[in-house]
Amino acid sequence: MNRKYIYTIIALFSVSLLVFNACKKEMKTIPTNNTEATHWTAEDLKIQNNILNFQNKIKNNSFKDGESMSLDSAVWYLEALMNYNYSSPDSSYVNLTVDTTFEFNLPIDNDMVDFSNVAAAAFAMEEHIVDHLNNMPNDIKFVIAADVSIKSNELKDGTKTITITTGYGSEYIDNPGCYTPFGANDYWRYGLGYINMGGYCGGPNQGQSTNSDAAEEIQYRINNPTCQPIWQNAYFTDIVTSANNYWENGGDYIYYITSEYLNPNDDIPGDGYLDYLTLYVNNYYDCLSPEEMNFYMQGNLDIIESECQKIILATGLDYKFMYTDLKGMYYYGPTVISASSTFGVIHYGSPIN
């Protein structure tokens, strides 16, 4: 099986030298035993050429005075450029870090954006991504993918705020096979990772405190399959996120499970045991057994595939799963004193091989 091994970002950039690298692969040290040739379709080459032409305009300041582009095009090109130069979506990693702190106010006029402002946004994005990467303490670290979007706001001054959700991986791991199942000692607290109170809750490790919980453990295995996808040398464009009824509140995702993801094989519906494909119960001081951990890992994989098919159907593009950001939490609501859930924001992209 051909696998990439270590993706080490050599981030030796200064602010004054932020000129886009024309080839993302020059940014990484990639020992590899992959001898297969990369096959490019005519459409792949067209997309790559469009990205490189956009990059050259920015790097060489060769755009015309007053040249403009649509806001949608600007978002697409900015996202494609960041991922072309920086992303390593096919690498396996131990830690996932998601950064959502970048914002840039982009002046618009009748949904058109001056190219000089798009260039300024591109340099600001690159600086932010590289600075965040450099500030990570890990020896092995890399960008998984960057999702550029327009922030919902009510600004009346002719501007739109663009944001980036960037996933970073750190510490490479080379596993021998697809989704490593949970073992006999994997009894994990759930719903407590949200307030940093996770840890083992049964078996020989009971009482051992860790910074992880059931959601983090399931996320790790899903994001680190031991078999490489066929698009392992790809970069992604048209990145989208998907979640089942979520919104962002003060930087925290709040996620509710709906009947769309009920467990179809549930023997006693509504009894609080394996009712949904991902965890949702009314008692957050409880424990997941290894069997339950494996059930919810497969359930989240089923949700990921279901959401992916919806996006493919809606867009007509060949979307692939990139990573999921799972969290365990508890909350108080009008109908329950407390509840616990494992919720996730799933990231997909259209791969260019």
Assess whether 230 and 322 both reside in one domain. Answer: yes
Assess whether 158 and 196 both reside in one domain. Answer: no
With b meaning 16 or more CB within 10 Å and e meaning fewer, what string describes 106-137?
bebeeeebbbbbbbebbebbbebbbebbeebe
Residue 137: helix, strand or coil by DSSP?
coil
Domain of residue 192, residue span: 188-352
Per the domain annotation, does 346 fall within a domain?
Answer: yes
pTM of the complete model? 0.58
* Closest by Cα among 72, 55, 63, 167 to 122: 55
For residue 23, pLDDT beyond 50: no
Assess whether 152 and 282 both reside in one domain. Answer: no
Domain count, the chain: 2
pLDDT in tens, 131-171: 999 999 887 788 989 999 998 765 556 889 999 999 998 87
pLDDT in tens, 258-300: 557 888 888 788 787 888 888 877 655 578 888 888 889 988 8
Least confident of 54-68, 139-153, 243-257, 264-278: 243-257
Assess whether 162 and 307 both reside in one domain. Answer: no
pLDDT in tens, 311-343: 899 888 888 888 888 877 665 555 544 556 676
Assess whether 34 and 104 both reside in one domain. Answer: yes
309 to 173, 255, 293: CA distances (angstroms): 29, 20, 25
